[in-house]
């Protein structure tokens, strides 16, 4: 994962209708990905996932004052999903024609097709969460098919939609952007994969799907080994899918059919299993256990442990000792771990 800061570029004076060259396409991709075409007073931070032509850009764009003016993205085979976090007023032209649309109300979502010529004029302050999705990412999310590909999205260009699923996914990812130190690549991958799959299955014109299967035994074994070896979460769906020689979309569905859970949930459960072993050993503080198991901090670990296990780490430790015929005492909790558990308000 790489994080970048979007910079401002002056709007182009003119556009060309010729087919862009490979170099021009690469430049357009970088400009759109980093939102360099938006003349913001303050440069937005863009979280970039992936590599090559499959890079996804996530950004929260906030402008407290009106009058940002006009801006136009570069032509590119990609889409921008813009979820409105506030009410605002704007005018948009697509291929030179004004878009007749309802008001931009908080909670609605607009999907912009970068293959079209888009000119936007922002009149007021605004707050949006944006996802830059190249076609390659959407095609990876297509149902498994023999030689088929995403044909197009059946949407009114740039017209706001009321989409509860996008609203829920936006709510899931916003806290992550506020606390980047807690970012899990696998979690972000899952949210972006879910968004791409939803966009394709809801609005896409796709070739008929064929029935997918489960992971082969060797694929399941290898994926679980890779996840177990990377409990810090520094592994991506693309890495796991590549190891299985599958597309990301095919891999996620096959893993769920095989393990009855998602790769991210399986990772969380492995973290908790490892944490139980360390708690049972009793030689580490709870903060050390949290870091050893890939959690951002002790508070994050305690919340996740309590949610998945149904008990706080301290309560689980006491019950585990009783089940093994050991009467819990302050000393038997383990000198180092016990001090952390007793002294922590999160225990």
Give 116-155 pLDDT, tens digit per residue: 899 988 888 899 999 999 988 888 877 654 444 677 888 8
CA 193 to chain CA centroid, nearest Å: 7
At the topology level, CATH places domain 39-205 in Jelly Rolls (2.60.120)
Share of the chain above pLDDT 90, in %: 20
Tens of pLDDT, residue by residue over 72-105, are 898 888 999 999 999 988 888 888 888 877 678 8
Low-confidence ranges of the chain (pLDDT < 70): 1-22, 41, 102, 143-149, 206-212, 233, 325-347
pLDDT for res 30: 84
pLDDT at 12: 33
pTM across the whole model: 0.62
Find out whether 325 and 319 touch, Cβ atoms under 8 Å. no
Q: What is the DSSP letter of 52?
A: G
Measuring CA to CA, which residue among 82, 184, 201 is closest to residue 138?
A: 201
pLDDT at 335: 44
pLDDT tens profile 264-274 = 899 999 999 99
pLDDT of residue 344: 43
Mean pLDDT over all residues of the chain?
A: 79
Q: Where are the domains of the chain?
A: 39-205, 217-260, 272-343
Domain 272-343: what homologous superfamily? Homeodomain-like (1.10.10.60)
Q: Taking Cα atoms as reference points, which of 285, 262, 279, 274 lies closest to residue 313?
A: 279
Predicted confidence at residue 206, as pLDDT, reads 67
């Amino acid at each position: 994962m790489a994080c970048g800061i979007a910079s401002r570029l002056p709007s182009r004076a003119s556009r060309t209708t010729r087919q862009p060259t490979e170099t021009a396409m690469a430049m357009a991709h970088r400009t759109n990905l980093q939102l360099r075409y938006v003349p913001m007073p303050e440069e937005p931070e863009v979280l970039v996932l992936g590599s090559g032509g499959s890079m996804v850009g996530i950004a929260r764009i906030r402008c407290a004052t009106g009058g940002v003016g006009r801006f136009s993205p570069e032509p590119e085979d990609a889409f921008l999903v813009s979820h409105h976090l506030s009410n605002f007023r704007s005018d948009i032209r697509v291929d030179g024609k004004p878009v007749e649309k309802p008001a931009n109300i908080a909670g609605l979502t607009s999907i912009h097709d970068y293959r079209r010529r888009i000119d936007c004029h922002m009149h007021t302050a605004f707050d949006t969460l944006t996802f830059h999705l190249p076609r390659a990412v959407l095609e990876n999310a297509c149902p498994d098919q023999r030689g088929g590909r995403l044909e197009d999205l059946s949407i009114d260009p740039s017209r706001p939609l009321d989409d509860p699923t996008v609203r829920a996914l936006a709510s899931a990812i916003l806290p992550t952007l506020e606390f980047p130190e807690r970012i899990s690549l696998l979690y972000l991958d899952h949210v972006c994969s879910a968004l791409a799959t939803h966009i394709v299955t809801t609005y896409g014109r796709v070739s008929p799907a064929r029935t997918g299967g489960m992971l082969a035994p060797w694929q399941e074994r290898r994926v679980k080994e890779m996840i177990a070896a990377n409990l810090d979460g520094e592994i991506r769906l693309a890495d796991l899918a590549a190891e299985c020689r599958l597309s990301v979309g095919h891999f996620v569905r096959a893993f769920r059919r095989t393990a009855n859970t998602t790769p991210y949930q399986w990772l969380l459960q492995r973290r908790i299993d490892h944490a139980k072993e360390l708690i049972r050993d009793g030689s580490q503080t709870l903060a050390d256990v949290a870091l050893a198991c890939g959690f951002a901090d002790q508070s994050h670990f305690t919340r996740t442990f309590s949610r998945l296990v149904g008990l706080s780490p301290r309560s689980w430790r006491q019950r585990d000792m009783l089940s093994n015929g050991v009467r819990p005492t302050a000393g038997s909790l383990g000198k180092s771990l016990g001090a952390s558990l007793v002294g922590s308000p999160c225990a």
